[in-house]
Amino acid sequence: MAVQHAENVDLLVCTCCRRQGAPGDAERAGTRLFRRLAERRLPGVTVRAVECLSNCSQGCTIALRGRGRWTYVYGRLDDGADVDTVLEGVAKYQATDDGVVPWRERPEHFRRNCIARIPPLPTLAAGDT
């Protein structure tokens, strides 16, 4: 059984991502995704708008990160249909110590649409700056 942690994690949402074929002056799909996720108010999850996660050709795009955890970037999200998928993935990420959710336990969309991951920063030793 996984130990449940309620530690703070960040859910970064790219507000610049466009839906393919959307006119240039339409509200960005990423902005809608951000608003829908921010409305859900998950305890311990800070939803942050980011102006460009630089995954423009494969949006919508989010990233999950937290201190001492691997950061994961996921793409090709639908701003409407994938809101619950993102929330499921965030909850599983939050329940880990290091951010690594076993592959089989990830939402199927996350399994197929991981764009990149970054290891956590090393813990500073005494005397480091």
Binding site for its own copies (CB under 8 A): 10, 12, 48, 50, 52-55, 61, 63, 65, 67, 71-73, 114-119, 121
Q: How far is the CB of 83 from its own copies (least distance, A)?
A: 21
φ/ψ of 94, rounded to 5, equals: -65, -30
Task: Take residue 55 and report the two structure tokens written for it.
Answer: 């995954």
CB nearer to its own copies: give 26 or 119.
119
Question: In which element (H, E) is residue 11 found?
Answer: strand 9-14
Distance CA(29)–CA(103), nearest Å, equals 27
Report the distance separating Cα 127 and Cα 119, nearest Å: 22
Which is closer to its own copies, CB of 22 or CB of 116? Answer: 116
Q: Which is closer to its own copies, CB of 1 or CB of 121? A: 121
CB of 55 to its own copies, least distance (A): 5
Min CB(127)–its own copies separation in Å: 14
Tokens of residue 48, six digits? 């942050």
